[in-house]
Structure formats: structure tokens, C-alpha cells
Structure 1
Amino acid sequence: MRLHVSLRLRIYLVLGLLLAVTVGGGAFMLWYGTRIQTFLSGVFDRQVHALDAAMRLESSLAAQRGFLTYYSLDFDKSWLTRLSEQQSAFERELSKVRSFVDDESTRRLVNDIESGFLRLTVERERVVELLNAGNRQGASQIHAAARKRFDALITQCELFLDSLRAGLSRDRAEGLSRMELANTMATVFVPFTLLLGLVLALVLSRQILGPIRRLAEGEDQPAGPDEVAALETRMHGLLERAVQARSKLEKSQATLKAAERMATVGKMAAGVAHSIRNPLTSVKMRLFSLQRSLDLSENQREDFEVISQEIKHLDLIIQNFLEYARPPKLTLARSSPSDVTAAAVQLMRPRLDAQRITVHVEREEPLRPILIDPEQLKEVLVNLFANAMDAMQGPGTITVDESEGFMEPMGRVAVLSVSDTGPGVPEEERERVFEPFHTTKEEGTGLGLPIARRIVTEHGGSISLTQAKGGGAKFTITLPFDSESQGRARWN
């Protein structure tokens, strides 16, 4: 069975080995360097000081021999004083040398030097006594023997020096061997560390950096020197496109739902047209005939009027169903949206006056004529006026603002906004008001605003709902100029 190792584990393994080799090699070199330092320091303290003391021993012996000879010639007491000082110095240096000796053969040699020096001291003192007693012949005989012993001790000191030099050479060879071992270990650690670094670089290049670069490279442009920044830009682009795709999908789903509802409404409308409208027309005609032929009292005439109004309301509901399910085609004509606004206000004037609602039309000048369906656009404005009146439920103000602007991707546009002084629409309900059959009115059909949006959309424009400055509702209609009007708008 093949073992699958994850990318993370492979990177961790290589990093762990690289870290272990680096830290381990560094720790070993530090430990071994400390040992070499200790060794070399010991060699210096022991061998070099021993060599220095041994050379002082030899120098002291030569000085003592000279001082004794000088005294035998001129009997100057100062030579004896200096001889005594050199004797004390020899003893001190011999004590130092003994502390540096660590092998048996050298220790025996030091013992021989010490015993020879003691016998020499006795013979030297005997020579001084004989000289002081005036026995120069006896002193000369003993002095000759002492000179031979001086020579023997100097020879032993030279042998001791040779022994120390040989030890120093051995220590030097050992130090060089240790340094060579340190160099060998460094020679091993460095290539191994480089190998692990190359393995890590290969893993990162093939498993991480390579895929990142391929992801960062666009279809029509290279990634550039900074693959991570390019990948980040590309990922932001992908996220933006994903959000746009999701938005389009949601709109498509909403459109599909609306289409399904339209199909259902179409079937309902066909049934309504055959099953209700014809009998309703017959009832309306009979009611009109009865109203003309009968002598009705005042209360009866009021009842007939209520029945007539309800029949008109039913007829309007049926008409809305039929218009939403089977929308009429646009009849385009070059007309100014300002003229449509004036016609809608004129049509709604009786109801506006009855409710004591004031209409303000704000414009710098009438909007330019563009290709629109005046009747259907008037229906949109009438619907917006009616909704505003129902929302205010009493006196108030409706403001119609007309302007021209530029909007991508439509280009030059005519903008009409209708705002009221009513309570407004909650933010969570603003998009739902354009859904079919969604209404907050007790007697509403929920088709007025969906029909208005369909008409505006068929004109190539858009309609949106926001909050007015005073807190009421504000509907904004945007209508694009046609190609001919676009040209005039740009050059005029």
C-alpha cells in the first residue's frame, strides 16, 4: 500500500530536518570550539610556562657557575650575594616546573635535576668555606668537581627542555587534529544543509510556487514578478465575478419566478375574461337600465351608485390581470416626458384636489423629446400618484423632479422622480414592492408596481424605490435617450 504524505507534512519534515541540522551543527561546533579553546588554553598555560621556567633554570645554573668562579678569583662578597639570589630563583623555578609536569619520565628527570642541584649546593658551600679558610688548592679540586656537576645539570635542563618541546609538538599535533575534525564536520554539515535547502526549494517551487504562478497567470497577460500580488488580484477578480454571477443568478431566479407567475396569471386571466367579464358586463348594463327605468328614492340611488362603483372596481382588477398577463406592445412616439407628467397630473387632478394634495413639478426646462409610449408611461405615473395618495391618507405634497443626466451603460438619460410626504416604505420591503401580488393594501392587487416596472424596463430604463428627504417614498424612473436624441443631447 502506497503511503500518501501531505504537502504540509513534507514541508514540515524538510523544515524540521533543516532546522535540526542547522541547530545541531551550530551546537556541535560551539561545543567543539569550546573544547579546542580549553585545550589550547591548557597547552599555553602548561607547556609554554614550563618552557619558560626550564629556560630560566638553565640560565640560573649558568649564572651560579659564573658567580662562584668570580668569587674564587677576587673574593668579592657581592658575588656570594648574587649567587644566593640565583639559588633562590632556581628553587622557585624548579617548583613551578614541577607543577607543570604530568608524565612519569619528565617527573623523574625533574627529580634528578633537583637531587643534582642539592649535591651541587653542598659542594658549592664547601668551596666557599675552603676559599674563606685560605685553602685554595682544596677549593680548586672541589670547584672542578662542581663545574662538572654544573655541566651535568645544564645538560639535564636541556634534556628537560627537549622533553617539553616534544610535548608541545604533540599538543600542537593534537590541536591540529581537532581543528581538522571540526573542519571535516563543517564540510559535512554545509553540503547536507545545502541539500536540505535545495529539497525544500524544490518542494516549494513545484508544490506551491509553481501552482501559485499558474493560478496568477491570466489568460491574456503574464503574472509579473510578484506572483502573490497577481494571485491576490486575480482572486479578487474571481470573487467579484462570483458575486456578480450570484447576483445575476438571483435575478434570473426572480425573473423565472415572475415568468412562472405570469404563466399562472395568464391562465387565470383567460378564465376570468370568459367566466367573469362577460357576465359582469351584462350585470352593469342591466343595472344601468334599471337605474333609468325605475323611480328610485335617494337611499336607493346611493345603493345603485355603490354597486356601480364596486362593479367598476371589479372591472379594474380584471383589467390589471389581463394587462399583466398579456401586456400590450409599446407604441413608440417621439414625445417629451414632461408632457406625459402634465397629462398624468391633469388626469389625477380631481382626486388630488379632493384629498387636498399639492403637486410640485421641479424642472429647469421641459425634457427633450425621446422615443416613448406616452400612454403607458402616463399609466406608470398615474399608478405612482395613486400609491402616494393612498400612503398619505390625507393632505400632503407630491413632488415630481425632472432632469437629464448621463448613466453607464445607457448613456444620456431622462430622470423622473416622484416623492411624497407619506410614511415611506421600510428598507426590507423596498424591493418586494415590485414583486407581483405583493401588496400592503387591503383592496390592492399587488400588480400596479410590477406593471410599472415592466413598462419602464421595456423602454430600456429602470425604476427604483428609495427614501425621500422628508421620510416618504421616492420612486426614480430612468429612461435612456434613443440614438437620435443621444446625438442632439450631446451637441446642444
Structure 2
Amino acid sequence: MNLKNLKTIKFSFSHRIFGGFLIMALLSILVGYLAFITTNNLQKVSRAIMRENVSSLKAAEELELAIVNQKGLVASYFLDNNHVWLKTLEEKRKDFAFWFEKAQEVALTDNEKMILKDIFLLYKNYDNQRNRAIKLYQAGRAADGKKILLNDMKDSMNSLYQKCEDLILANEVLIAKAEIVSQDNVLTMTRFIWTIIIITLCLGAFLGFFMSRKINEQLVRSAKMASLGQLSANIAHEIRNPLTSIKMRLYSLGEELRSNPAAKDDIGVITEEINRMEKTVKNFLDFARPPELVLQKCDVNKVLEGTINLVFAKANSQGVQIKKTFEAPPLEFAADKEQLRQVFLNIILNAIEAMPAGGTLEIGITKDADREFKDALKITFKDSGTGMPADYRQRLFEPFFTTKTEGTGLGLFISSRIIHLHKGKIEVDSYPGRGTTVTVTLPLC
């Protein structure tokens, strides 16, 4: 595990932490926005209700006052026969008419409207009695006028006053109910906000716990990988140096024993095993210290064609037929030709080994858009081998995971790393008995 990979992991951690805080911030903004909107609506509704109820209550109180102010005017006129009292009475009648009309306009309920109807009828009766009393007084029948004033008009005034009190009470009840509704709405809003806050806190705690656990797992894994990488590099170097010496001495020995066929066969077997060990050592070194990309213009068609030529003899000897479908035209783009060849070689060899009794390997190249890339090359390797179960697929790109008795488990891990360094991706689709398809996607821009 080199410094570049550690930086990549730290970058990934930073993205996760930033993502978590971003979610928390968005939730906080959402809570604040909902609280603002709901509170604003509640205030508007409460103001509208209170404004209507207060207007209705004021009209009821003014209506009652307009009636009460008419109470002693006729009696005063009877005492001194001064027509000023009758002019004042006419003004108070106009006040009553004004506030009665206003009360009708702001009446909210059927109960208010019914009370106003009763007030209108009672006032009409009261006004008729008053007019009759005044006419009797002016006709010289003061005693009859006073009788109406003291008996009939008194009862009518009391009934009118009671109805006005009923109207005021009805409005006070409405205001009280409106206040209760407003308080209930505020309580509901408060509960809603606290619920969102609790959910946000719980989600934040969950995200914190989840990210902390994932980060700890990644750190532990990174530490293990770093130690393992260093150990692999040391072991590889310790093995590589003696292997080089053995290979050189073996070459000299082969020259001396060229005339001995039996010794020549033995030397060939030993050389093959040494080459296999060197390949294993190279895998360990690549795992421990992956080489930097050497980007240059290259044609993937040619790279893949050259790789197929390298394994053609092995595939043919095992009864594996390779079918090529290169739909994409020759196209040069910046890539590390040697590392791509290593990826293709590893995938093709795995496919051939998955078909010990022979089969077909279809290799195709297409130029197509992708969900992640606007323009990309897709290289597919589809074999007719045994396939693999889901639990194997999930672990294919883990270091040291292998299903082969003599495999190191580093081939696909290194291949995946090389493709990711090219900003691409590698995917595997496989099911038992249905073969395996490996897709390598390389962005062109």
C-alpha cells in the first residue's frame, strides 16, 4: 500500500464525512424551512380569525351601546317637551342602523345571524312602541304615552339588551375557540418540529456511528494492507535475487548438458517452474508497489490483438476457440499500453483456465456511451466456462482471494487497480453453469 493509495483512501473518507454533514445540513435547512412556512401560515390564519372575530365583537358591543343610548331620551322629552331630545334620538337611530348593518357584514355563524334577526324584530317593535308613545304625548294624552314608556317599552328594551348580550357572548365564545385552535396548531407544530429534530438527531447519530465504523474498518484494512504490502515487497525481493542467480546458473548448466536429452528435459521443467515463481514474485511486487502509469497514445484494438496472439497457442492446445468482434474502429487515446496488456492477459488466461474441457471465448470491443461516461470503449470477455456463485463474485477483486489451487489471488486485484487508475471500471457477470462475462470500460475523455 503506497502513499498514493493512502491519499485516495483519505480522499474517500473526506467525501463520506462531507456527505454526512451535507445530509445533516440539508435536514436542518428543511426543518427550518418547514417551521417557517408552517408558522407563517398559522400566523396568517390566526390573524384572519382574530380580525374577523374582533370585528364582530366590536360591532356587537357598539350595537348594544347604540340601543342603550336611546333608553332615556323619550323620558327626557316627556319631562321638558324639548325637541332637542328627539333630534338626539334620530342620531342614535342612525348609529343603531350603521352598527346593525356592520354586525350583519361580519357575522360568522348561523347563531349570530339568528340573534341579529331577533334583535332586528325586537328593535322594530320597540321603535314602533316609542313612536306611538311620542304621538300620544304630542296629542295631549301624556298619561297613555307614559304608560307605554314605563311598561311596554321597558320590557322591549330589556329583551333587546339581553339579545345584544347574547351576541357579545357568542363572539367571545368564538374568540375563545379560535385561541384554542391557535394553541392546538402551535402545539401540533411544536410536536412536529421536535419530531423532525429527534429524527435528525437519530439520523445524525446513525450516520456518525455508521461512518465511524466504516472508517475504522477502512483504517484497519489499510493498515493491514500497508503491512502486507511491505511484507510482500520484502519477501519478493528476497526470493527474486536467488531466483535470478539460479536461472543464470541453470542456463550455464543447460549449455553444458545440451547433449544429454534427459537432463535437458529436467532443465526445461525447472526453467518453467522458475518462470512461474518469477510471475508470482512480480505479482507481489505489483501489489506492494504498483508502477505509475506511463500514458501514451495507443490503439486498444492492437493491444488486445497482440495479447490474443500471446495466448493463442495455449488456448488452442486446451480446445478453447477465441472469437473476436471488434466493432469499434481503430482509435488512439492516452493509456498505459503495457499495463492494459497485463489486464487483458490476466482476464483471458482466467477464462481459458475456467474451460479445462474446451469451449468458446468471445472477445469484443464496442464504442458506446455509458451512464458514467459520455464516450467510452467497452471490452468484453465472455467465456462458456463453469461460471461462479454470487459469494465468489463479490470477493473477486479482494487481494489474495482465489479459487485456484496454485493462484496468488492478486491478478484481478491488480487488474482492477490498473483499470481504476485509467478512470475506468471492471465488472463481472457470472452464474453457475452459464459462464462468465468480464466487461472493462475505459473512458475516452
After TM superposition, the score normalised by the length of structure 2 is 0.54
Q: What amino acid maps onto 2:390 in structure 1?
A: E
The answer to whether the 8 A contact 1:258-1:436 is kept is no
Q: What amino acid maps onto 1:198 in structure 2?
A: S
> Is 2:160 the counterpart of 1:197?
no
Q: What amino acid maps onto 1:197 in structure 2?
A: V
Number of aligned residue pairs: 287
TM-aligned CA deviation for residue 436 of structure 1: 0.8
Q: For 1:384, which of 314, 325, 347 is the aligned residue?
A: 347
Deviates more, 1:328-337 or 1:254-263: 254-263
The 2-side partners of 1:391 and 1:332 are apart by 32
The 1-side partners of 2:389 and 2:249 are apart by 45
The 1-side partners of 2:313 and 2:339 are apart by 21
- Provide closer, same or farther for how the CA distance between residues 457 and 258 of structure 1 changes in structure 2, counting only shifts above 3 A: farther
Matches within 5 A, 1:7-156: none
Superposed CA offset, 1:417-465 (max 9, x none) = 1111111122222131111111111110011001101111111111111
- Provide closer, same or farther for how the CA distance between residues 433 and 191 of structure 1 changes in structure 2, counting only shifts above 3 A: same
Deviates more, 1:238-247 or 1:315-324: 238-247
Report the equivalent of 1:441. 404
Q: For 1:283, which of 246, 257, 266 is the aligned residue?
A: 246
TM-aligned CA deviation for residue 205 of structure 1: 3.5
> Is 2:234 the counterpart of 1:271?
yes
SS of the residue corresponding to residue 401 of structure 2 reads coil
Deviates more, 1:194-203 or 1:352-361: 194-203
TM-aligned CA deviation for residue 273 of structure 1: 4.2
TM-aligned CA deviation for residue 352 of structure 1: 1.1
Report the equivalent of 1:153. none
The answer to whether the 8 A contact 2:297-2:335 is kept is yes
> Is 2:403 the counterpart of 1:419?
no
Q: What amino acid maps onto 2:188 in structure 1?
A: L
Q: What amino acid maps onto 2:340 in structure 1?
A: L
Report the equivalent of 1:330. 293
Matches within 5 A, 1:252-331: 259-294=222-257, 298-331=261-294
Report the equivalent of 2:69. none
The answer to whether the 8 A contact 2:390-2:431 is kept is no
TM-aligned CA deviation for residue 407 of structure 1: 2.5
The answer to whether the 8 A contact 1:262-1:324 is kept is no
TM-aligned CA deviation for residue 393 of structure 1: 1.3
The 1-side partners of 2:238 and 2:335 are apart by 35
Deviates more, 1:390-399 or 1:362-371: 362-371
> Is 2:331 the counterpart of 1:347?
no
Report the equivalent of 1:467. 430
Superposed CA offset, 1:187-242 (max 9, x none) = 887665444333312322444369869x99xxxxxxxxxxxxxxxxxxxxx99999
Name structure 1 gaps, 5 residues minimum. 1-178, 217-237, 483-492
The 2-side partners of 1:467 and 1:436 are apart by 19
Q: What amino acid maps onto 1:196 in structure 2?
A: I
Matches within 5 A, 1:154-303: 193-208=177-192, 259-294=222-257, 298-303=261-266
SS of the residue corresponding to residue 423 of structure 1 reads coil
Report the equivalent of 2:356. 393
The answer to whether the 8 A contact 1:468-1:474 is kept is no
The 2-side partners of 1:356 and 1:411 are apart by 39
TM-aligned CA deviation for residue 403 of structure 1: 0.7
Report the equivalent of 1:406. 369
Q: Highest Rg: 1 or 2? A: 1
Q: What amino acid maps onto 2:314 in structure 1?
A: R
Q: For 1:479, which of 439, 442, 445 is the aligned residue?
A: 442
After TM superposition, the score normalised by the length of structure 1 is 0.50
> Is 2:359 the counterpart of 1:359?
no
Superposed CA offset, 1:225-276 (max 9, x none) = xxxxxxxxxxxxx999999999999997786566435422432244224422
The 2-side partners of 1:251 and 1:340 are apart by 39
SS of the residue corresponding to residue 403 of structure 2 reads coil
RMSD: 4.4
Q: What amino acid maps onto 1:370 in structure 2?
A: F
The answer to whether the 8 A contact 1:420-1:468 is kept is no
The answer to whether the 8 A contact 2:369-2:376 is kept is yes
- Provide closer, same or farther for how the CA distance between residues 470 and 336 of structure 1 changes in structure 2, counting only shifts above 3 A: farther
SS of the residue corresponding to residue 335 of structure 1 reads strand
Higher relative contact order (CA 8 A, sep 6+): 2
